[in-house]
Structure 1
């Protein structure tokens, strides 16, 4: 007689607590409440919660990897939330399920975040085929939530076909999002100004798809911006020999051009899958993720080491005063590991 899901988990993961087993079963059964509770567990800073979260992720891992991971970035005011809502509703019409992980800026003073994406995506948030999760960034690199990668895996295990990661579009957040998604899309305004400045920032170098939103406001300006960006792209070395970065114009507000955008995403996946780059990119991202975790883990253990905590203040003062060199101080502290 075949085992049910609960019996199967008990047999394969006997270390899972009953509450965590219920979370895993609920996520796999595509229930939104267990999904939200699992992401909350993953985002928790409590040590016991971190241990539980890793066990839950291990149990969910066989059910991950099937979604298209789409990163979207752009300066404030470019219309990211309007575009994501239009795209999400379009994909749902095509029979797909959509998860949005919206990364909000946290206040450097209070640690709070805006968390307003559900308000800005009102229609999408009410659709049963959508899941929107605003995640406080807790001042992590470039405003990207530290646990976004794990949250993506949980959403994949819950059966979502497309996972959209929206970033605040400041600092190095674009690089971080590009490093965790399959395709990175940059939204631009028709009057964005000097396109060379964007190249200096390195943003266009990592974009797989560039979209000029709000093209309905000034179509002529949108076409000029498109021409400028396409010219600028010719100055850059392509990230892939099998893909030429398209520059599209659309109006998210009027839902014009959304289908063309998704067709471009589909073409991108087909091109990179055929060449083997798609799978290789995910493997590289997984390895980079592992080393990032190792790096942050080592830093945490180093800072919490009793001898390091005891000697660090005096050595830091000595470095500031010039009575010892940074290298001597660093080697002495590292010697405690």
Structure 2
């Protein structure tokens, strides 16, 4: 750490990140995840300054229901990438304790080999109260890892609720892990996960389970045929793999690379990333408006009385919401809704 730089100076963090300093990387993500206003301002300044040094990494989302073997897959997949010379960052979004808000999974314990690799970085993040169990600051953490020189960023979801949709909106390639015999492809369609998948991998295809995995692959291939693809350039393939036997793992990486090449050539990769950045901005605006609304002292005073009136049928929810949303508008005393 430079004696001339204070930790509060964003350039201190930016310089450390660009130098690939892992200690600074970890501290930066801690700042990003902090809810303290001064830390939020600092995080914003850091992310703004590193933007020109981001965007080169492969952004990969991985999801699957509990028991599908996500951690074992990511460790096998990650070790394969590290052995190929890539630098890998894994942002594993944990389900959080409702009481403490802390992580209840130890990702580094679940990925023992990968966690000690010098060219791998694993960061578990408590999801807090964010919808779908996706950490609020995962996008910022992803950019920070890119600035620190990582070639591949994996975002692992808890595989429940709407977390898949959230993660698919921030990555280039979305890999869905499935279990053989856990339900046919049509059940997957109902969950909506097949609609956002760029590839499906049937896991644990080893021993007596190989034939079941092959059968499941056919089912999912048939299911995908009746879904309109997200891209004119890409049709999601279905593969089988075994993390324990290391089979099918390299094939999945080749699929990711093939997808990237095709999407880059067609211009869709750049278009999708631009859309993601704008959507991210609007998501932050909506979240910020909600926070400011609930943090406003005048709203806090009004809310109990208006809530009581709505609960007891004294005031219609539409009227109550208008009063809460527009009573601070000093420039328009006679506010009227557009027809």
Q: TM-score range with shorter-chain normalisation?
A: over 0.9
1:198 aligns with 2:188: yes
1:17 Cα deviation from its structure 2 partner: 6.5
Tell me which residue corresponds to 1:13.
Answer: none
Tell me which residue corresponds to 1:63.
Answer: 53
1:151 aligns with 2:141: yes
Tell me which residue corresponds to 1:33.
Answer: 23
Give CA-to-partner distance per residue, 1:133-172, whole Å, 9 cap, x none: 0000013111110000000000000000000000000000
**Which of the residues 314, 319, 323 maps onto 1:323?**
314
* Aligned-partner SS, 1:256: coil
1:115 aligns with 2:109: no
1:194 Cα deviation from its structure 2 partner: 2.9
Q: Contact 1:192–1:225 (CA<8 Å) still a contact in 2?
A: no
Distance 1:31 1:48 in 2: 23
Q: Contact 2:174–2:197 (CA<8 Å) still a contact in 1?
A: yes
1:110 Cα deviation from its structure 2 partner: 3.0
Give CA-to-partner distance per residue, 1:194-239, whole Å, 9 cap, x none: 3211101111100011000101141110011000000001111111
Tell me which residue corresponds to 1:51.
Answer: 41
Stretch of structure 1 that moved more, 303-312 or 146-155? 303-312
Distance 2:86 2:68 in 1: 26
Tell me which residue corresponds to 1:83.
Answer: 73
Tell me which residue corresponds to 1:295.
Answer: 286
Tell me which residue corresponds to 2:154.
Answer: 164
Tell me which residue corresponds to 1:208.
Answer: 198
* Aligned-partner SS, 1:210: strand
Q: Contact 1:102–1:132 (CA<8 Å) still a contact in 2?
A: yes
1:329 Cα deviation from its structure 2 partner: 0.5
1:26 Cα deviation from its structure 2 partner: 1.1
Q: Contact 2:82–2:119 (CA<8 Å) still a contact in 1?
A: yes
1:58 Cα deviation from its structure 2 partner: 1.4
**Which of the residues 304, 307, 312 maps onto 2:303?**
312
1:246 aligns with 2:237: yes
Q: Where do 5+ consecutive residues of structure 1 fail to align?
A: 1-5, 11-15
Distance 1:261 1:254 in 2: 14
Tell me which residue corresponds to 2:251.
Answer: 260
* Aligned-partner SS, 1:224: helix
Tell me which residue corresponds to 1:269.
Answer: 260
Tell me which residue corresponds to 1:138.
Answer: 128
Distance 2:109 2:275 in 1: 36
* Aligned-partner SS, 2:176: strand
Distance 2:48 2:192 in 1: 35
Distance 1:88 1:323 in 2: 59
Tell me which residue corresponds to 1:334.
Answer: 325
RMSD: 1.4
Distance 1:124 1:18 in 2: 32
Q: Where do 5+ consecutive residues of structure 2 fail to align?
A: 330-339
1:306 Cα deviation from its structure 2 partner: 2.2
Tell me which residue corresponds to 1:22.
Answer: 12
Distance 2:266 2:255 in 1: 17
Stretch of structure 1 that moved more, 157-166 or 189-198? 189-198
**Which of the residues 178, 185, 192 maps onto 2:168?**
178
Task: Provide the TM-score with structure 2 as the length reference.
Answer: 0.93
Q: Contact 2:7–2:13 (CA<8 Å) still a contact in 1?
A: no
